[in-house]
Amino acid sequence: MMDSRRFSLYGDRAKHQDVDDSEAYRWTYYSTAETATIHARHLCEIPPKGVKLSDMIKKGCFWIDVLNPTDTEMRTLCQAFRIHPLTEEDITMEEQREKCDVFHNYYFICFRSFEQDPLSPMYLQPLAVYIVVLKEGVLTFHFRPTPHPHNVRKRIKQLRDYIKVSPDWICYGILDDITDSFAPLIKSIEFEVDSIDELVLILKESEQSDMLRRIGYCRKRVMGLLRLLVSKGDVVKTLIKRGETKPEDATRPELSTEVSLFLGDVQDHILTMLQSINHYEKISSRSHSNYLAQISIEMTQTNNEINDILSKLTALGSVLVPMNLVTGLWGINVKVPGQDREDLTWFTCITASVLTFCITMTLIMRHYNIV
């Protein structure tokens, strides 16, 4: 039975219940000296019987990937590979700030990806990947399943005859795969932003009920991606700058010239994505303003139509009220003109007078464009 994990101060484990992963393969061991990747539930299951893990590590460049490590496992790894307590704390507490720290015998990199399963309730939520680059190998940690380690191992298998697998190349592969995972999202945002920008001014009023929701959701995705991408360029830049400095005691890994070029390409991709995201944010902001302006114009037109109808009703009332007043005067108990006569002379005169007044007032109102 595994020990409990401390809740993260910066991550999201405190918000979501831990999944029972006691039977999951949380440990993955890759080495250039091994013919196949080893998947295990616990660290002790990685080496075969009669073989020590320390002996396996010495055979060649290794990579240990850990999903949701426990506090005990973190302490064991930190003691075995002489990892600084500050690094252990950053990983255990799920530090979310992306950075590249240089220690005596390793590089520590925090690089954030996102939940890529569209069916997951945490889709597009940040997911931090922690990379410890040693001289002999690489340690990676993450607290939710992510496809990046598998993608990098698959890429190494395809390019194994053309590249020299080293700790710095594995680190580059992880950073590059995380960066490339943003490309499909940015492409989908481009289509959505262009669609909104074209439709916001041509849709009819009856078809605009869902447009504000689309704009809001699109801008939310843009800001989420911008938040994840904005600091990645500085991390890669720092890694290149510090990696090119040769360590005096040769205990820390040194970036090769080839890997430095590859990391420069990753940095270019990040900057290109940032420029695209900022451009799409400006277009979304303009579309949002255009949409609100369109709604304001339609509301003004509607108000003008209502005011026009009310003015006509007011004019009609100004015609009917005097007639009601005149005819109402004879509704009380008084003598009505012509009531003693048997013909309809007085009725005809009164009716003709009312109609004449009505026609006259209507002509006057039409002359002044009131009706």
Tell me whether residue 1 is in a domain: no
- Segment 291-332, tens digit of pLDDT: 888 778 878 888 888 888 888 788 777 777 777 777 776 666
State the pLDDT confidence band at 56, using cuts at 50, 70 and 90: confident
144 and 275 share one domain = yes
340 and 273 share one domain = no
Q: pLDDT: is 244 or 122 the higher one?
A: 122
- Segment 157-170, tens digit of pLDDT: 888 888 888 899 99
Return the minimum-mean-pLDDT range out of 31-40, 120-129, 131-140, 198-207. Answer: 198-207
Buried b (16+ CB within 10 A) or exposed e, 283-306: bbeebbeebeebeeeeeeeeeeee
341 and 249 share one domain = no
Tell me whether residue 117 is in a domain: yes
CATH number for the domain spanning 170: value is 3.30.460.20
86 and 196 share one domain = yes
238 and 341 share one domain = no
Alpha helices, H only, the chain:
53-58, 71-81, 85-92, 148-159, 167-180, 183-199, 211-229, 232-243, 257-329, 345-367
The answer, yes or no, to whether residue 195 has pLDDT greater than 90, is no
State the pLDDT confidence band at 180, using cuts at 50, 70 and 90: very high
Q: What is the pLDDT of residue 64?
A: 92
- Segment 141-152, tens digit of pLDDT: 999 889 999 999
198 and 264 share one domain = yes
273 and 130 share one domain = yes
- Segment 128-144, tens digit of pLDDT: 999 999 988 999 999 98
Q: What is the pLDDT of residue 153?
A: 92
Tell me whether residue 304 is in a domain: no
353 and 223 share one domain = no
Q: What is the pLDDT of residue 204?
A: 66
170 and 213 share one domain = yes
pTM for the model stands at 0.78
- Segment 5-29, tens digit of pLDDT: 555 555 555 444 454 455 678 899 9
Tell me whether residue 325 is in a domain: no
Tell me whether residue 113 is in a domain: yes
Q: What is the pLDDT of residue 9?
A: 57
Domain count within the chain: 2
37 and 162 share one domain = yes
Q: Which one of 276, 296, 316 terminates a domain?
A: 296
Q: What is the pLDDT of residue 151?
A: 92
Tell me whether residue 316 is in a domain: no
8 Å CB contact between 230 and 252: no
Residue with tokens 């295990």: 40
The answer, yes or no, to whether residue 270 has pLDDT greater than 90, is yes
Q: Which one of 271, 296, 321 terminates a domain?
A: 296
Interatomic CA distance for residues 317 and 319, integer angstroms? 5
Structural domain span for residue 245 = 27-296
Within 10 Å of residue 201's Cβ, how many Cβ atoms? 11
Mean pLDDT of all residues in the chain? 83
336 and 210 share one domain = no
The answer, yes or no, to whether residue 2 has pLDDT greater than 50, is no
The answer, yes or no, to whether residue 1 has pLDDT greater than 50, is no
Buried b (16+ CB within 10 A) or exposed e, 223-257: ebbeebbeebbebbbbbbeebeeeeeeeebbebbe
Tell me whether residue 10 is in a domain: no
203 and 345 share one domain = no
> What percentage of the chain exceeds 70 in pLDDT?
88
Return the minimum-mean-pLDDT range out of 16-30, 33-47, 196-210. Answer: 16-30
